[in-house]
Chains A and B, each alone.
Chain A
Amino acid sequence: DTGVSQDPRHKITKRGQNVTFRCDPISEHNRLYWYRQTLGQGPEFLTYFQNEAQLEKSRLLSDRFSAERPKGSFSTLEIQRTEQGDSAMYLCASSADGGLGNQPQHFGDGTRLSIL
């Protein structure tokens, strides 16, 4: 168990640029989740995948946000035309969930995004 891996750890970019983050889940985990955490707040759920299927995306913050998990393994989260308000920590989590919702989610270290 190598844990959930996220890359990069930090990303600094100018407003208006596109950014992409990568998440590698624990290898046998079928579910993968993305969260956003702003300063002083708890994580906010954005989207999740079961294998390669994106089962919930209505919580993505705007149409500038998109996520993929093309082969049911790693996932990417892309933010287009970044804005100051996108500055936050983006967390990825994975779980081996059979659909009951009772399995714990294991979190990565997160990617901290700073918009200049």
Chain B
Amino acid sequence: AQTVTQSQPEMSVQEAETVTLSCTYDTSESDYYLFWYKQPPSRQMILVIRQEAYKQQNATENRFSVNFQKAAKSFSLKISDSQLGDAAMYFCAYRTSGGGADGLTFGKGTHLIIQP
């Protein structure tokens, strides 16, 4: 079974600065997908960014980018120019590829605090 570990229960960053959230995972599969989701307080989970394991190029979405290290099974999220609206729980998630794909496996999350 796959597992996802987020070792930082909470992170704090000054507004406009850069922060990196860590995620490691364990799998025996070679093809899979990785995701970062954001869950603001009392609001729905929103997809931030996704990465296909077969792609070497790191995904980017505006101020959000990932550092995907397949051999190390590491998938960190970098948020540049942090904004107050970035404050939320951030979850790293794994999903197998192909016909066996079912639900996402999530980490426990990192609570991101933005200091004004």
Contact = CB atoms under 8 A, between A and B. Distances in A.
A104 B108 contact: no
Interface size class of B (residues with CB under 8 A): 20 to 34
A105 B45 CA distance: 9
B45 A101 contact: no
A108 B53 CA distance: 27
B101 A45 contact: no
A78 interface: no
Given A99-B98, A100-B98, A105 B108 contact: no
A67 to B, nearest CB: 12
B44 interface: yes
B101 A100 contact: yes
- The residue among B45, B99, B109 with the most chain A CB atoms within 10 A of its own CB is B45
B52 interface: yes
Interface in A77-116: 91, 93, 97, 99-102, 104-110
A100 B97 contact: yes
Interface residues of A, number: 30
A43 B98 contact: no
B44 A101 contact: no
A107 B89 CA distance: 15
A41 interface: yes
Contacts of B91: 42-43
Contacts of A109: 43-44
Given A33-B103, A43-B45, A102 B33 contact: yes
A100 B54 CA distance: 13
A44 interface: yes
Given A43-B45, A105-B104, 10 more contacts: A4-B44, A42-B91, A42-B93, A44-B106, A56-B102, A99-B101, A100-B101, A101-B32, A104-B47, A107-B45
Nearest to B102: A56
B78 interface: no
A112 B107 CA distance: 20
